[in-house]
Amino acid sequence: MSDYLQHQGKIERIEKHKVFVRIEQQAACHDCHASAVCLASDKKDKIIEAADYSGSFAIQEEVIVSVRQSLGLFAVLVAYIIPLLLVIITFVAVLYASDSEGMGGLIGLSVLLPYYFILYLLRNKLKKRFIFTLSKIPV
């Protein structure tokens, strides 16, 4: 299953055919010996919603949440790369047109408002694309 991203988590709640799993998202440096005192080693809990029609999972059960690796790359593209490119392109265009760095920076950052608003409007469509699967932890 090398083409899947996997996280271990614990089931928080179950609603009809939806299972909500809490996973601990760790920074890339979580294996470092100094991570206990380092501010860069942030840990955040995330709730992942996964569909389950089997009914074979229970609350507080440890499970593995999987998603296709290509969807992870798509998420990085949508969340980070496209907005960065929009800011840079807008900044350069406004700088070229007006010769004002301040105006370029302001308009470059303000272009993110409609971008993220459009993502918000498309959230249900994107939610259908990101399909998480659950599996039991092998004993």
Lookup: tokens for 44 = 């955040």
Query: In this structure, is residue 32 part of a structural domain?
Result: no
- Which positions ≥6 away from 49 have C-beta within 8 Å? 18, 19, 20, 21, 132
Could you give the C-alpha distances from 16 to 6, 46, 48, 128, in angstroms and in order? Answer: 24, 20, 15, 17
Torsion of CA 58, 63, 67, 72, to 10 degrees: 120
C-beta separation of 10 from 56 below 8 A? no
Query: In this structure, is residue 90 part of a structural domain?
Result: yes
Torsion of CA 62, 63, 69, 75, to 10 degrees: -70
* Enclosing domain of residue 129: 4-27+42-136
pLDDT exceeds 50 at position 82: yes
Tally of domains in the chain: 1
What is the per-residue pLDDT across 25-36, written as a single tens digit (0 to 9) for each? 765 555 565 555
Query: In this structure, is residue 67 part of a structural domain?
Result: yes
pLDDT given at position 10: 92
**Location of structure tokens 């840990």:** 43
Query: In this structure, is residue 33 part of a structural domain?
Result: no
Query: In this structure, is residue 37 part of a structural domain?
Result: no
Query: In this structure, is residue 36 part of a structural domain?
Result: no
**CA-to-CA distance for 54 and 70, rounded, in angstroms?**
26
Query: In this structure, is residue 34 part of a structural domain?
Result: no
Mean pLDDT of the chain: 85
72 pLDDT band, cuts 50/70/90, is: confident
**CA-to-CA distance for 73 and 69, rounded, in angstroms?**
6
Query: In this structure, is residue 103 part of a structural domain?
Result: yes
What is the per-residue pLDDT across 97-129, written as a single tens digit (0 to 9) for each? 998 999 999 999 999 999 999 999 999 898 888
